[in-house]
Amino acid sequence: MRACLVSRSWCRFVSGNPFMRDIVREMVDVANTRVTFSNEHPDYALLIRALKYAPRINCLSEAVKASSHHHVDVYDNISNTVHDYMLAGPWMSRGRSDPSEGTEWLMYKLTELSLVGSIKIYLEPTYPSLPVSPVYGARSVRFIFGDMNEEGVFTTTFATPFFPMTQNRCQKFSFRKPLICIRKFLVVEFHEPVISSDGLYHMGVSYIHVKGRDLGSSFRLSPTRDLALQAITYLDPKVKSELDILDARLRVGDDVQTPKLVAFLKDENNV
């Protein structure tokens, strides 16, 4: 974007080359098998800014289902794990006599358009009233992103490697690169529970926080193109009008001066 301010020829050079597209590909992964971005340079520039300035949110939209339940009631509900773990009861699995057989998992729907950077899992302690207690954890966990069709069939489009788990109550798992998720579902898959009670191995989760940014505040899904991102608003109101001018300059080739944007970009504290 800075190069575009030099001259009209520089604007054409930058917009006609895949600089911004390549930068985006280096900065993020995409959870969708088919994603088409706009070919316009300002859309990529906006996406790069969104990676840093979009609002931080918990990207979980709602709980969908779990592999099993210890007790099917309000106190043992996957929906409780979407909210603050101190406000509701945990989710507990039914339990297995052999922890190596099968997996336990939780499925969630994500916000429509989000950038996921890491996931925090708060495990349920075996004795909540004690200050120090073992937790209902597992040997490993992985995160699977995918689609759900009308028949309820889940299809995987992106999966992380297995992360080892510890006996800490709060554990954070960071991705190699932030992940753009468009209308995605998330499956948190636990392998080999390690704590046995009543003769069975259980998993217990108090709260899950999918840390990310809300790209929906700056982008929308185009109704005319399948899973295409289009910019509709600019993130920083101080330069929105100047970016609009720059957008018009790139599209029609007019040599438009943007002094406020130049001043803003020179201020390193705002970059």
0.85 exceeded by pTM: no
CA distance 201 to 97: 6
Cα separation, 114 vs 136, in Å, equals 29
Q: 147 or 33: whose pLDDT is higher? A: 147
Cα–Cα distances in Å, from 102 out to 63, 96, 158?
21, 9, 21
Q: Which of 165-174, 208-217, 225-234 has the lowest mean pLDDT?
A: 225-234
In this predicted structure, what is the pLDDT of residue 205? 92
170-182 and 29-30 strand pairing: parallel
Task: Identify the pLDDT of residue 57.
Answer: 92
Output the pLDDT for position 67.
Answer: 92
Comparing 84-93, 121-130, 139-148, which segment has the lowest mean pLDDT? 84-93
Q: What is the pLDDT of residue 18?
A: 64
| Average pLDDT over every residue of 242-259 | 51
Whether the per-residue pLDDT at 223 is higher than 50: the answer is: yes
**pLDDT-derived band of residue 46, with 50, 70 and 90 as boundaries?**
confident
Instruction: Give the mean pLDDT of the chain.
Output: 75
pLDDT score at 16: 55
* pLDDT of 77: 78
Q: For 133-154, what is the mean pLDDT?
A: 91
CATH number of 57-213: 2.60.120.260
Map out the domains of the chain as residue ranges: 3-54+218-270, 57-213
Q: What pLDDT, on the 0 to 100 scale, is given for residue 245?
A: 58
Residue 232 has pLDDT above 50, yes or no: no
Residue 226 in this model has a pLDDT that exceeds 80: no
Instruction: Provide the pLDDT for residue 187.
Output: 97
Q: What is the mean pLDDT of residues 104-112?
A: 94
At residue 146, the pLDDT reads 94
Where do we find the tokens 């193109």?
225
E strand or H helix at 195? strand 195-197
Q: Which residues contact 212 (CB under 8 A, 6 or more apart)?
A: 56, 57, 58, 59, 114, 115, 116, 117, 178, 181
What is the average per-residue pLDDT within 66-71? 85
